[in-house]
Structure 1
């Protein structure tokens, strides 16, 4: 049975936001997918914003999106993609712990799962040895912004933004699951002076040893 999500407010909000993404974020999406090959699992595909950026060396993308309204939008985006994409209205937990993908893509999704440590460990098990986790995620800040994130996460931010928690140590979670991280860095998508909790992003490649 599909473990679908029914969040009409967030679905409308995210559909509007994803259609107006700043070029700074689109550039990071493009970079996050560059050089991928083989069979790819995308976790939390949203409206399919990544789909246009997949390189043609990718043979198949299995994109999971449990919010059924977003999955419908993503299916339309898949129709015009350069690679074969199947949109599955389910969660990643449906896949058995067998190494079956060459890469996993996480874009703005690990902030919203209930148990990120468990999810990342599961993603590790789905990758073939040498496979890559490509991530582009909100991360915990420091100082005043870190304080702002904690207040936002404890109040209205997750309710408005589909359970998004901006103050998560996602990079530590990825390393803790057994990945070797390479080429990681942080970038500001919005100006640092703008009081938005999710302005700073981490982008990197994490490899399953083997």
Structure 2
């Protein structure tokens, strides 16, 4: 049997390092491939049957200038941006959802750039955007306070936070059920989604001025689900900074 060639130690180290680099898989901030496939199908159905498409239209109505959308999912908001929006930068941390969002971006009526990133560390400059959009995403971020602090950072003074989120139900019985689900199976089954977070309280705690908003149920008809209680509205970064 032929003897294997022996390389000097410096060359062996370089060969080993090259092997490690080629085996390295790009890291995604979020990786829920099974849930992503389920969510992609469910969200399209809910837009039509659950009336969510109309809520997206209301959420984005009247926006203009540069917009940052955090947690864009499969890009279902893109078709609802008005022509007064000059640019949308859409952050999506999950790889398969990001690919679907890229396909929707091509069809959008405004320029949309889909990029990887996490809500808690947005890869954009401070005070660079006229509006930040959160649409059914605060339920699943790892840290709500950090995500909203980042949104405040990237908004220009006076800029708007548009939000459409589900959260804590006003009814005590359902709220107790939500808390129980959040401590057990719900986040595991639904991509770290939590049903009992309070988006309005978190927005106020982030130093944003809460503006017009309303509570609604999704779906509006039929049985009340742990994720049915929603709020839709606007908040602003104070003019003072």
Identify which of 72, 86, 101 aligns with 2:113: 86
Q: Is residue 14 from structure 1 mapped to residue 39 from structure 2 by the alignment? A: yes
Q: Is residue 37 from structure 1 mapped to residue 68 from structure 2 by the alignment? A: no
Q: TM-score, normalised by structure 2?
A: 0.83
Q: TM-score, normalised by structure 1?
A: 0.95
Following TM superposition, the consecutive aligned residue runs of length 4 or more in structure 1 with deviations greater than 4 angstroms are none
Q: Is residue 77 from structure 1 mapped to residue 104 from structure 2 by the alignment? A: yes
- Partners of 1:23 and 1:122 lie apart in 2 by 31
Identify which of 163, 167, 191 aligns with 1:162: 191
- Partners of 2:39 and 2:181 lie apart in 1 by 18
Q: May I ask how many residue pairs the two structures share in their alignment?
A: 210
- Partners of 2:50 and 2:33 lie apart in 1 by 26
* Structure with bigger gyration radius: 2
Asked if the contact 2:92–2:115 (Cα under 8 Å) also holds between the matched residues in 1, the reply is: yes
Gap regions ≥5 residues in structure 1: none
Highest relative contact order (Cα 8 Å, sep 6+), 1 or 2?
A: 1
Asked if the contact 1:98–1:126 (Cα under 8 Å) also holds between the matched residues in 2, the reply is: yes
Structure 1 residues 42-74: Cα deviation after superposition (integer angstroms, max 9, x where no partner): 000000010100001000000011100000000
Structure 1 residues 150-200: Cα deviation after superposition (integer angstroms, max 9, x where no partner): 111111111121111010111011011111111111001125762521001
Identify which of 133, 144, 150 aligns with 2:179: 150
